[in-house]
Homo-oligomer: A and B are copies of this chain.
């Protein structure tokens, strides 16, 4: 990892091929068994070149999943808080559908042989997105005496926990989205009512 101009078209192509190769390999084997050598070979890039862009496999994994993480964080922050308890809001359903489509990837990423960096990144993005939203005033009522960061971290962790449990155990995305929404929403409306 020296300095490589990220805007150089050659560098962009190389990174794109490396990320594509990573996603292909991640579908076939555990992350811990994916080597820099195998990545370089599949991406048809010299092994030394990989280190010009990523210091290790984990960094490449995280970058390859960045779009997915951003989509999840955005969807989470878009959920209207006043949706009825019995019907999960659209963005949340779409979030779980996105995870369902890429379930094999998320299972690998969040599993025992997954990526600590990805999991940390996902929690962090979710926490930041929710904290920003709460700071904007759009925060569920009833927890004004809890720091915004804590509240955001609580919900971000809960979402990651439910996703990890769901992709490992199976079930439809509708069930998972509704279960999460009920767990969140009940506390929310109840707190407002007392």
Contact = CB atoms under 8 A, between A and B. Distances in A.
Q: Looking at chain A's contact residues, is the secondary structure mostly helix, strand, loop, or mixed?
A: helix
Given A142-B190, A162-B157, A190-B193, A151 B183 contact: yes
A150 interface: yes
Given A113-B116, A120-B112, A188-B187, A127 B161 contact: yes
A40 interface: no
Interface residues of A, number: 52
Contacts of A110: 120
Interface in A86-123: 110-117, 119-121, 123
A149 B127 contact: no
Interface core residue of A145, A151, A159, A179 (most chain B CB under 10 Å):
A179
Nearest to A123: B161
Interface string A159-194: 111101110010000001001101100111111011
